[in-house]
Structure 1
Amino acid sequence: MKAVPFLMFQGDAKPALALWRDAFPALEVLELEEHLEGAQAGQIAAARIRLGGSEWRLFDSPPVHAFTFTPATSFFVDCDSEDHLRSLVDKLGESGEVMMPVGNYGFSTLFAWISDRFGVSWQLNLP
């Protein structure tokens, strides 16, 4: 058995994936299928990615839903250096929201909690 996060977007899966690929050069796209016709042509029908050893799935939902992402669920990333953490904050946080700015909160060297412009929440940590 294998359980993986599955992220549902409302037409923003492709730009979100582009942002993450820029922020995380080691991100691997394992599978990418796009809608070929209709109102969703060019949007992601199904994708599998791997980041930091974890596999995720994502897609653009055909029906519009009243819900979206919430900070109650986030991706926790241990960074290798302060420069790495600050780079991720800059890239992922552009046009997003800062819930906890870069700082020392007593539980690690540096930490930041942000959501990207698509609403996906990231906890960025320097142990």
Structure 2
Amino acid sequence: MSHVLSRIVETFPLSLSDTGDSVEQRIKSLEHRRASLTQELSALEALVKTLSRGSLKYQSAKERIVQIQNELRVLKGRLGLVKKNQNLGDFLIQIFKERLTNAEWDGVVAEARRRCDLQGRVSP
């Protein structure tokens, strides 16, 4: 069972920088995979109703249903992470990073860290 989940995690990395894909592309990919799994799950559930409980086909179909349900749970989490990280701040960072030189970006990051450190010391 854990090998199925690890295969899913490898298929859908968390970080956008790992794949180079845009957020919209990742969302579209995850939603497409979810739709295909949902369709397969529906077909398998209908098939299970027609099979006798003790048969090998019945057991195989039930095992695949459990695998699909687990994969759908992971995809739901991934989709939530991708959508959650898609906010104005992410886009601002991306725009500034593209428009600034490396030295300018390093200066902005240093200033942001300085402000963060100051805020951390002030607040309880």
TM-score past 0.5 threshold: no
Which of the pair is proportionally richer in strand? Answer: 1
The structure having more radius of gyration, on CA atoms, is 2
Which of the pair is proportionally richer in helix? Answer: 2
